[in-house]
Structure 1
Amino acid sequence: MIEVRDLRVRYGTRVVADVPVLDVGEGECVAIVGESGSGKSTTLLSLLGLTPDAEISGQIRVCGLDVRTAPPRRLREIRGARAALVMQSPQAALSPATRLGVLMRRALRLHGREATEQIMSEAMEAVLLDPALLRRYPHEVSGGQAQRFAIALAIALGAEVILADEPTSALDVTVQAEVVGVLRRLRAERGLALLLVSHDLALVSTIADRVLVMKDGVVVESGAAAEVLAAPSHPYTRELLEALP
C-alpha cells in the first residue's frame, strides 16, 4: 500500500526527513516514533504530496501511484478516496459552520461516491458512533468522537490505507483505547493498512507490527515492534523508553 525508497525532504539546505525504506502492506500497521521535531509528521505529509514548499527526492508510491510524478488530478483521486489522512486535531480541520453529515456527504460527492444515508450510517457504526451525530456541528462532539468521525469518513470513501498523525494525543486514556480498538478492528475486518505517527511508545506497542524511530530527521532504528521496543539497539530508542512514566 505504501512503498518508500531513499526519501529526503529538504527545506533549503536543511534535510528535515531522511527515510531509506518505509513499506506498509495490506492489513499492516507501521508506526513512526520520536520526539517532537524529529521529522515524523513531515514524512507523513510528504507521502501524499502535501509539502509543496519542500524539495523532495526518492521514490514514493501510495496505492500503486508514483506520488512525486503524478499530475494533480491523479493525486486528488488518491487522497481521501484510497489514502486518507487523519490529523491530530480533526475538529480544527472541520468547518465549524457545517454539520458532520453535510461534510461527509460533500466529501463523498467530490470523490464520485454515493452519498446515501445507509452508507453514511454504516460508516459511523463501523467506528462505534451513533449515526445521529451526523446532525451535529463539530463543536457539539467530543475530541474522541471527532477523531472517530474522521476515520468514519475515510471508511465511507473506501480508503485502503489511513495515515494517522498523533490520532490519540489529545484524548484521555479511555477514549484513546476506544480509538485504538476501532483501528485494530478495521485492520482485521477490512485489511486496512495503517501508518501511524506517534510519540506514545506505550500506544505503539499495542497496535504496531513494525516501528521506525526518528531523531533529527533521520531513521536511527527500525524493525519489528516487539523487538525494537523490548531490546532497542540505538541509544536514542533506549532514552525514549526510559522516559516513559
Structure 2
Amino acid sequence: MIEVRDLKVRYAGRTVADVPELDVGAGECVAIVGESGSGKSTTLLALLGLTEGAEVSGRVRVCGVDVLEAPPRELRRIRGARAALVLQSPQAALSPATRLGVLMRRALRLHGRDDGEPAMALAMEAVLLDPAILRRYPHEVSGGQAQRFAIALAIALGAEVILADEPTSALDVTVQAEVVGVLRRLRVERDLALLLVSHDLALVSTIADRVLVMKDGAVVESGPAARVLAEPAHPYTRELLEALP
C-alpha cells in the first residue's frame, strides 16, 4: 500500500528527510521513531505530497499512485478517501464553528460518497463513539474523543491507509491505550495499512510490526520491531531505549 525508494526532502538545499526504503502492506503497522526534528513528520507529509515549498525526489507510491508524478487532481482523489492523515492535535485541525457531524458529512460529500449516514454510523461504531457526539462542536469533546473522531472520519471515507502522526502524544495514559486499541483492532478487522509516527517506544512496541529509527533526517536503523527494540544495533536506538523511564 506504501512503497518508498530513495525519498529525499530538502528545504533551501538542506536535506531534512532521507528514507532509502519504506514499505507498508495491507494489515501491517510500521512505525517511524526518533526525537523531535528527526524528520518523522516530514516523511509522513511527503507521502501525500503535502511538503509545500520543499524539493522532493525519489519514488513514492501510495495505493498504487505515484505521488511525486501525479497531477493535483489525482492526489485529491486519494487524500482522505484512500490514504488518510490523522494528526497529533485533531481539535486544532477541525473547524471550531462547525459541528462534528457537519464536518463528516461535508467530507463524505466532497469525496463523492452517497452513503453518508450509514457510513457515518458504521464508522462511529468502529471507534466506539456514541453517534450523539456528532451534534457537538470540537471544543465540546475530549482529546481522546477528537482523536477517535479523526480515525472515524478516515474509516467513513473508506481509507485503506492511515498515516498517524503522534496520535496519542497529547493524551493521558488511559486514553492513549483506548486510541491504540482502536487502531490495532481496525488494522486487523479492515486490513488497514498503518504508518505510525511516534517518539514513544513503549507505545510502538505494542502495535508495530517493523520500526524505522530516524535521527537528523536520516534512517539509522530499521527492521522487525521485536529485534530493533530488544537488540538495537545503532547507538542512537540504544540511547532512545535507555531514555525510557
State the TM-score, normalized to the length of structure 1. Answer: 0.99
Residue in 2 that maps onto 1:165: 165
- 1:137 equivalent in structure 2: 137
Secondary structure, counterpart of 2:73 in structure 1: helix
2:75 matched residue in structure 1: 75
Q: Are positions 1:90 and 2:96 aligned together?
A: no
Alignment pair present for 1:184 and 2:192: no
Q: CA RMSD in A?
A: 0.6
- Is the 8 Å Cα contact of residues 105 and 115 (structure 1) preserved in structure 2? no
Note the 1:99-114 alignment, pairs <5 A: 99-114=99-114
**Following the alignment from structure 1 to structure 2, what is the Cα–Cα distance between the partners of residues 201 and 97?**
36
Q: Note if contact 2:109-2:116 (Cα within 8 Å) is conserved in structure 1.
A: no
1:72-121 per-residue CA deviation (whole Å, 9 max, x = no partner) reads 00000000000000000000000000000000000000000125322211
How many aligned residue pairs are there? 245
Q: Aligned ranges for residues 222-237 of structure 1 at < 5 Å?
A: 222-237=222-237
SS at match of 1:7: strand
Letter paired with 1:55: E
- In the aligned structure 2, how far is the partner of 1:121 from the partner of 1:130? 9
Q: Distance in 2 between matches of 1:216 and 1:107?
A: 36
Alignment-derived partner of residue 125 in structure 2: 125
Q: Secondary structure at the match of 1:206?
A: helix
- Structure 2 residue aligned with 1:195: 195
Letter in 2 for 1:219: V
Q: Distance in 1 between matches of 2:133 and 2:167?
A: 20
**1:42 corresponding residue in structure 2:** 42
CA contact (8 A) 1:109 1:115 kept: no
Residue ranges of structure 2 left out of the alignment (5+ in a row): none
Q: Cα offset for 1:58? A: 0.2
TM superposition shift of 1:12: 1.4
Structure 1 Cα separation of the partners of residues 114 and 132 of structure 2: 19
- Alignment-mate amino acid for residue 166 of structure 2: E
Matched position secondary structure for 1:118: helix
Q: Give 1:132's aligned amino acid.
A: A
Counterpart residue identity of residue 220, structure 1: V
Distance 1:22 1:88, change over 3 A: same
